[in-house]
Amino acid sequence: MVTGGGGFLGARIVSMLLDRGWQVTSFSRQRHNSLVERGAVYQLGNLADSAAVDAAVRGVDVVFHVAARAGIWGDLASYYAVNVTGTQNVLAACRRNGVRKIVYTSTPSVVFSGQDIRHASEGTPLAGKHLSHYSTTKAMAERLVLDANGPDLATVALRPHIIWGPGDNQLLPRLVERHRAGRLVLIGRGDNLIDTTFVDNAASAHIEAAGRLEPGAAPAGRPYFISQGDPRPFATMLNALLGAVGLPPVRRSIPVPVAYAAAWLLETGYRMCAVANEPALTRYSVLQMARDHYFDISAARRDLGYAPTVSIEEGLDRMRDDHGLDR
């Protein structure tokens, strides 16, 4: 069973599982006919609904818990309901129904406190202070999942970083919208190094983790960073993604201190005026765009058999093909 099976990563996991002959149930808030036509079973529901989660888990051997509330703006309660309470419901349903394995989709944001992250390993501690409700609640959920590991239920948490590729309905549409509106700028020089993950590599990592996961096995009860293992300058990667959908590169930039101050002012004003929409800049997004963040994936290679088989260049070519552009 895949929670969030209609999302960008979740749908790719469902598709790959079907390709390998698995029987797959997707749990999501909407039905996705393209995967139903391929043989997936859809259970409609919300993670906060424990009865719906229990029904979706019944008769399942492995749960891929991918669904989450993402984003960097909004109230804590809405993030907590999905990311924490939803995870508690998944774990409880797995225990009641005798599920043997859970592969949980976490995020490297759980270790991000606003400073550079360079070649971080799984020994890097969770951030003492998180910069968004998303990272706060994902860290809480990751702890719940890993603490649940035991002889009857083996658990593992994967932390894929900046997932991209054809079919992206999250990161790329936001970048494109802002670029077309003239609101996309570089923060600083854009030479900070970042890791990313092509969607097929992220999906494969989940399936490989499930294959290696057993009570007492090396991955059980552990988190793993997942990426291309090929950090690139932020500006280089951003403009490569924009170019793959036919857009010109971003040239404008603003200094980091100016952007951070502007983000603070915007956040303060939005909160004082109870504006629900996300500001054009937040302190979290400024620091994400300005800092190094790349990771050591040797543990995932060793314990999960993970290998990023689709390179950045091949992934960009697939995106050009998807948009009907010349390579």
CA-CA-CA-CA dihedral for 171, 80, 74, 294, to nearest 10: -40
Q: CB 197: neighbour CB atoms within 10 A? A: 30
User: Is 134 an active-site residue?
Assistant: yes
Beta strands in the chain (DSSP E): 2-3, 25-28, 41-44, 62-65, 101-105, 117-120, 154-160, 163-164, 186-187, 193-194, 197-198, 222-226, 232-233, 253-254, 293-295
CA angle 9, 212, 149 (to 5 degrees): 85
User: Both ends of the chain: CA-CA distance in Å?
Assistant: 37
Q: H helices within 38-117, ranges in order?
A: 50-57, 76-80, 86-97
Identify whether the C-beta of residue 242 lies closer than 8 Å to the C-beta of residue 223.
no
Q: State the Cα–Cα distance between residues 137 and 77, nearest whole angstrom.
A: 10
Q: Between the CA of residue 27 and those of 15, 49, 205, 297, what are the distances in Å?
A: 14, 12, 20, 29
The DSSP output letter for 146 is H
Residue from 261, 262, 274, 242 nearest 73 by CA = 274
Q: How far is CA 258 from CA 234, 239, 295, 320, in A?
A: 18, 22, 28, 35
- Of the listed 80, 134, 224, 306, which one is catalytic? 134
Structure tokens at 3: 């929670």
What is the SS3 assignment for 307?
coil
Query: The tokens 């088989």 sit on which residue?
Result: 309
Q: Tell me the catalytic residues.
A: 134
